[in-house]
Each structure stands twice: as C-alpha cells, then as structure tokens.
Amino acid sequence: MNPKRRIALISRLANGIGYIATDFERFGGLFVQALLELPLDHRGLNLLGYPVAGVVDTTNGDGKVAVEYSDRKDYFSGDMDKARGDLAHALAGAPTAEKIFLLSGQPSRPQVAQEFGRAMLDLPEMEGKTLYLWGAVEIATQLVDHLILSDAVVRRLSPYLPDLERIREEEAASRMVPEPLSSWLPRDDIDMAIAERLRQKPVLAIGGVGGVGKTATVQAFAHRHQDDYEVRIWLDGDELRRVDDLQAVPLLRAGESRNVVGLMQTLRCLLVIDDAPANLDMTALERICGKGTHVLLTQRSTDAQSFDLPMLDRLQSSALLGLAPVKCPEAVFDKIWGTVKGHPLTLSLILAAVNEGATWEDILEDCEVIGDMEVGGRRLTDVLLERLRPSLTKELSVFAWSGLPVCDEDFLSFAIKPLGIRKLKGNSLTAPDRNRAVRLHDVVHASLDGSWCTNERSVELEHLLDTYLVEASRGEGLDLWRNARVLLPKLEDMVARGGTPPSFLFALLTTWDALETRPELVGEPLEIVRRMAGRKPGPLEINMVIESIEQLFLYDKERHDPAAQDRLRERLAAFDKMLELPSLTLREIAELLHHKGKALKRLGDSSAAADLFEQVLSGPVPLHEARLQLVDLYKGQAEKETRATQLVDEMLGPGANTDGLTYSVLLGVIERLPSGSGRWRAALIDRHAASIEQTIVSAANAGAQHAFDAFAALGRYISLERPELFRSIFDGLPEVELERLQSDRERAARAEIFCEAARLSPASAVELREKARAHYLAIVKPMQFHHQRHAELLIDMGKPEDAETILRQQTSLDTEWLERLMARCRLGQGDADGALKWVNRALAKLGAERFRSEFLELRHDIRSALGEEDAVMDLEAAVAASQKENERLRLQRKLDDLRVGNFSPPFRS
C-alpha cells in the first residue's frame, strides 16, 4: 500500500475507534480474536452488553492469552492508574497468561505508554510475559496492515467501526473488484486488444475454454486501467438474470448507497459481470452505458461477437514457469509446450506441482504419458493433481467427499485449518466466490474422483461435521444454518442412507423451510423414540426428535392438512417417553418440558402449557425460551401483567442471566412487546430501549432474519410513539437488495419497515413507499395480512382505488381490519356514506381494545365529512380509549383545534 495512503487510513480508523465508546469491549473482543486466529472466551460482557464483574475480559482456552479493554477518556493520563489496575486484574485472573493485551479506544501518548511498559515489564510477576499496550492508533495500524483484506473480519467489526467497511470497499475498488494474483503475468497484447474492442463498442464478452484465465484477465484489466474509470464494479453472474436486474443493484460509495445503472450513465464506470448468463442482452447493456462506461463479461459460451481469449504464448508460458524455485530445462519446456501449449490453469498446476516438490523430470514423464492435451486440459489436470496429492489430499478430500465445488469457509477452516485454505488458494485451485465461501475451479472439481476421499477419510469428515454442528448448535445458530444450507444435498444424501448422527437431521430440520421438509427423511418421531428406549441419548438426539415433531407439524400446517393437529396430539406421547430415558441431562429435561408446553399451546391448551413453562422456570435449568412463551401467553391478561413484566425484565434487564439467552429469544420478546396493553408495553419499551436497539441492530448485522421480523412488528408501534428509537434502529440496519431476499417473510418484513420509515421522513416518503410497494409486489405467495398492509400503503400513497381493488380480491371482507380499510378507501374516493357503513361494521366486530381509538378517529373523520354535528363525540371517545401516549396527545390536540374552530375535516358532503 502507498505509505501516504496507509497513514491516512490509520488516522481515519483511529479517529473512528475513539467514537466506539461503550461498545469498545465488544469491538475489541472481535478484533483480538481475528488478529490472533484463536478461539477466545469473552466473559467481560453479557449478551446484552452489560459488564460482568470479577472476570478477565477475554482469555483463551489454555490461559496463555489475557485481554482487558477500556473506553476511559483518561486512560493514558497521569500515572495510567486504569491501565495499572487492568494489568493487575489480568495477572490475578489469568496467572499463566504469556501474552497480555491492554486495549484502549483512546489515542496513546507514546512516551507515557513506553515508560509504563518498561516499568510493568520490570515487575517480577511479568517475567516470561509479553505486554501489548495498544491505543486507537496501534489498533488501527493492525487493522490496516493485517485485517482489512479479510471480508469476514470487516463484516464483524464494521457495525462498530463503519469506516472499516467503507475503506474496505474503497481499497477493493468497490463492489469487491478482486486484485490480480501475485503470480499473474501481464499480457500486454490481450490488454491492448480488449481496450481496442471497448473503444469500438462499450460491451465486450470474453469467452474461452475452462481454465484459460477469463476471470484473471478481467481482474488484471480492471487493475491496470483503474485510472480510466471513476468507479469499478464487480458482480457475480448469478446476481443477474436479465439486464433490468441492474436497476436493483446498489453500490456503496462514500457511505451512501448508489444505483448502479445511474452511476453507469453519469460517471465513467467499468462493470465486470463474472460468469455472466449466456442469454444476457448485450444490446440492452449497451443502452445503459454512458460516456466512458464499459462492461466486461466472462462467459463459458462464445459467439461471433465475443473475444475468444487465446492461451499464453510461448514466451509468456516460459515466464510463468520461470516462477518455479528450480529453472525449467529447455527440453522439458519444449515438451510441456508441445503438450499443453499455453493453457494457463494447466501451467499454474505444473508450477504448483514443482513448488510442492515434483521434479522437472516428473513433469516431463507426465507429459509423455498423457500425450496431447485434451480440450480444457482435463486429462493433464488429473495427472498434475496427482502430483499435488501428497500435500493437498486432506484439503481436496473435503470437496470430493461432499461432491460440491463450494464449501462454507467456517466449516472448511474447522476441517483443514486456515493454512489448508491458503494452500488451496496458493496453488491456483480456487475461483472467486462470495464471502464466507471457498469454491474450487470447475476444471479442478471435475477432476476429483472417489480416490481423493478414502472410506477412512469420509468417516473422519462425517465425524468432523458432527462435531462442528454440535458446537455450532450451542451458538446463535447462524453458522449452523449457513453451513447446512451449503451442504444441504450432502446432508440429505447421508441422512437418506441412514446411520448418521442426530446432528445431521437436526441441521436439516433447523434449515428447511416448512414446505422444504422431506418427511421420508425425518421419519416418525414416536418410532424414533421407541428405538431410544433404555439407553442414554446421544448429543442432539433429544433436540432432533423435538425439532422433528415441530417441523412435521409446520409442514402439515403449511399444506393445510386437516389432520395436522391430530398428528401433533398423537406425538405428545413422545415427550413423556423421552422423559423416561436414562441419564438425561437437566437441560434435556427442561427442553422436553418446554417443547411439550409449546405443543400444548399449539393445541389450544394454554393453561396446561403455562403450567409446564412455569415448571421449567422453577427448575434447575430455567430456559429463557419458556419465559418467552409465557410472555406470549400472559401479555394480554390484566391479572398476569406483573408476571409478564417480571419475565421481560429477566431477559432484557441489566441483571439478566445470559446463559442460553440467544438472539432468537431476545428478538422474540421484542417482537411481542407491541401486542400488549398500552401501559405495559410503553413502560417496558422505555425501560429497555437501549437493549432493544442493541439487539436488533447487532442481530441484523450478524445476518439474523428474525431481527427484521422483530423490528417490523415493533416498528408499527414505535414509529409513532417512540420515533427517535425507530430512526436509530432503522439507521443501523444493513442494506439488503430486494433480489437477494429468498423468502416472502423477508420481503414482507422489509416492506413493513419501509412503510413505517416513510411516516417519519416526509422528504423521503415517496422513495420509501415505492421501496415498500416493490417488496410487497415481490411476495410470491402473499397472505391476507400482506394484502391488507399493501392496501394500507396504497391509501397512504394517495391511491385508494388501487387499494380497494386489492381488498375486493380477498375471499371475504368480514374482518374488522379489512372493513376499516374499505372505509378508508371509500372516504379517500369521496364516498363518505359508503365509508360510514364499512366503519360501523368494523367497530361492531372490534375485539382488541388497544386499537379502538384508531377506529373511532376514522369514524369521526367520516362523520365530519358528512357534516354530522355530533361527530366530535367519536373523537372524544377516541381520546378516552387511547392506550398510546403520543397518540392520545395528538388526538387531544385535534379535539382542541376542533373546539376552537381551527380544524377542517378531510371531506365535506
């Protein structure tokens, strides 16, 4: 990196670190873990961000590392008393630590820090130990020099240090344009040919046989010509099905989201679409290119308009092999050239083989054995991979075992360690792919056969996967879900063959959407329990049966199977039979009681369900999930309000026991808060506002979809009652493109959020409502609630006639909610008489008292439009009925204005 650029980046990040403040310990823990590449135990904070007294903030498993964090402004002042106390605390709490890190979010004072370090290292208890005293600048230096190139690290740290994401994108030339490999040899002739073709036409497809270097060529072109473009953009081909999809692709520049098509038309852009669809319309791409904008595509298929990428010439091929530690003899090179010509991937594999210990005589023998290279170098790839077998069998066996070209980076790192991933990439075996995924080059993957994974290695990998899934199940579930998604075909195949550990089916059950469930793989839970009789259950075996019962019920329910509840009632016996199994852990007993309670709740037996949940909470393992279920049962009952409040405080309060308190549970309780009575929900939301915001934003940035569901439910209330809280959460959410949303649930949640955001942002209301509408229109199988909210959005957009069209397409309009919307539609179209009929019907049905004020206000507006003198009585009743503080104040102001003659009804008859 340019030295001046490096200094500027360090200064920029150091300044940002100083503003992290109370979240500094969370940030610091993630930073140290990324830097050391060790599993660490962060005990200094609980899940809600509250400090835990009496423990060293961070240690590792063998106690060789200890870390303390501080966001104190005066950390480097005076005698550095806080640092002295932190060091003493670390030495007392982790006496075997060999590396002690003291991290501060403030800029260090070099002389003061140096003198402190010398004094501390002279202490007898510091003998054999290393002290790292880092302030904001030192932390920023480590980030720039060692961590900024890691997508995973940037993703984890950027919620606390947003500049890190922005710098990462700037350094990667935006939208992740990958830099050329260090081994890439410049090809001036190709570069000039591409530039000349782009001068003639702004769009160029580059084709050629597999392994010829299409992706590497466009990487090199983008790097060499970076000064010719103001913006460079890199997209994977599977992000686009058609050119119109570019309209929905955003680009983050300078911290703002920009539309790609807009940039292409106003700035000089280079857009690269790697592995583009064969049917992409080149003419349409040309039409959206502004002056100086070019598009490069790599494609497997070619046509007359494509640039067919030639292989390396003799001189270039010789130069590539010249990177080997031992010079290639001329006679050997002649044989290689006669065999493979200039096929880049094959030459790279030859280079890798020599780097791993093969001799040039070995390569000569390979070339003589295989004869002429087949198209794409397939046969020689087989032979060269054989040369790499001694050093890469362990790494490539994972892909041979799974039968998939891609593997999640977390599990791959667990199976072959980070060094193994570096070996795959260093030997030119991988192709560019999305974050958190490692993909083999197609030619390499096609060359793997069963011999790369022996039966013994297959058994070992199954054991490693079992261990990984069991461990991942103890976390937030995101790692388990992501890996199970990638390995879904392999997991389904293994479970279908039978004899697999419970973790495999458990992973499928927690990953499948309801209608993806394959009942033939799940089996009958009662039969599974019968086979468990008399023995101790294995890891996740109890959980697997529990999830089986739940998933099969959801599968039946989604298919509208009338026998769904009957089957669930029959399977209740499975919980009692599992409770009779020997050697159950206290947690397993608690989970069985809890999930039996959930089943009873689904069957409508709320009283029995509540008794079981209370039993769990009074037992030795009080599950937070049971608290969540009780909140759901108690939130609407006046006599249970005190107990419900206590349960919420136990999960969201500063004294919460965070053992087993997952994001799923926290988000679940947040999602339920708005549905309680006015006083109950207002007090709880106010008391726990900081925890609510922290939980939603952190979970959303960690990739938890439930965060958006929870915010969508909560947002309908706080957008009006606590607008500042809504804005703060909304601003902290990550941008997600509509085309990347995979489920109707995700689309609906984001639509809801945009709707509520529009209420608070008059200047952006039109744009936000259009976004909301796009999300509603993208829902594949909309439910009645989605239609209802879509119609409400259209009314807010001034399109009551379109809203009425949606509503009248429903099978019936006999709920108070649909009738209320119909009243709004008719009022919006000037039909106050019709509106009054609809709102009267709606009020007659209304059962939820917390919404009565909204219905009465609407009737007041309708009756005012009809000129009825006593319409004010409805507004007075609305004030009395309101359970929301801000709503009641607004209604009172409206009533006061009406009484003094300052209020005009929306319509007059």
Q: What is the pLDDT of residues 489-527, one digit of tens each?
A: 999 999 999 999 999 999 999 888 888 899 999 999 999
CA distance 725 to 695: 13
Residue 104 clears pLDDT 60, i.e. is over it = yes
The pLDDT assigned to 845 comes to: 92
- Where do runs of H (alpha helix) occur along 406-540? 409-426, 442-447, 455-472, 478-486, 488-497, 502-509, 519-522, 525-532
φ/ψ (deg, to 5) at 271? -105, 125
231 beta partners: 269
Which carries the bigger pLDDT value, residue 85 or residue 651? 85
Is it the case that residue 606 has pLDDT exceeding 80?
yes
Q: What CA–CA distance (Å, rounded) separates 776 from 741?
A: 12
Rounded CA separation 134/101 (Å): 8
Structure tokens at 135: 């302030």
Question: Could you tell me if 631 and 647 are in contact, meaning their C-beta atoms sit under 8 angstroms apart?
Answer: yes
Two structure tokens written together for 572: 């209740």
Beta pairing partners, 41: 59
Q: Copy the structure tokens of residue 421.
A: 């991933």
From 336, 348, 341, 353, select the one nearest 182 (Cα to Cα).
348
State how far the Cα of 392 lies from the Cα of 353, in Å rounded to an integer: 10
- Structure tokens of 166? 């922005």
Residue the block writes with tokens 């594949």: 780
Q: Which two tokens stand for residue 391?
A: 């050093």
Query: What's 449's DSSP letter?
Result: -
- CA 381 to CA 446: how far, in whole Å? 9
Cα dist from 586 to 199, 305, 619, 630, whole Å? 72, 69, 9, 20
pLDDT tier for residue 651 given thresholds of 50, 70 and 90: confident
Model confidence at 174: pLDDT above 60? no
Tell me the pairing of strands 99-104 and 65-70. parallel
Q: Look over the chain and give the mean of its residue pLDDT values, rounded to a whole number.
A: 84
Distance separating alpha carbons of residues 611 and 591, to the nearest angstrom:
14
Q: Are strands 430-431 and 406-408 parallel, antiparallel or unpaired?
A: unpaired
- Are 105 and 15 in contact, with CB atoms under 8 Å apart? no
Question: Up-side HSE of residue 139: CA atoms within 13 Å toward CB?
Answer: 34
Inform me whether the pLDDT recorded for 8 exceeds 70: yes
Residue 371's pLDDT band (boundaries 50, 70, 90)?
A: very low
Q: How many CB atoms neighbour CB 274 within 10 A?
A: 22
Question: Which one of 4-13, 283-292, 669-678 scores highest in mean pLDDT?
Answer: 283-292
Q: Which DSSP category does 51 fall into?
A: B
3-state secondary structure of 205: strand
Q: Residue 202 gets which letter from DSSP?
A: S
Q: Are the CB atoms for 90 and 100 separated by under 8 Å?
A: yes
Whole-angstrom Cα distance, residue 53 to residue 51? Answer: 6
Most confident among 36-40, 93-97, 613-617 (mean pLDDT): 613-617
pTM for the whole thing? 0.58
Residue 183 has what pLDDT? 60
pLDDT at 511: 85
* DSSP assigned state of 704: -
Is the predicted pLDDT of residue 151 greater than 70, yes or no? no
Neighbours of 119 (CB within 10 A): 13
CA–CA gap between residue 210 and residue 231 (Å, rounded): 29
Contact in structure between 607 and 639 (CB atoms under 8 Å): no
Tell me the mean pLDDT in the region 713-718: 87
* Rounded CA Rg of the chain: 32
- The residues that bridge with 431 in the sheet, in sequence order, are 439
The model's pLDDT over 181-203, given as tens digits with 9 standing for 90+, comes to 666 677 888 899 999 999 999 99
| 168 token code pair | 């990462």
What pLDDT does residue 373 have?
41
Residue 153, pLDDT > 80, answer no
pLDDT at position 553 over 80: yes
* CA gap 508, 488 in Å, rounded: 7
Token digits of residue 479: 């790692």
Question: Cα 86 vs. chain centroid, distance in angstroms?
Answer: 35
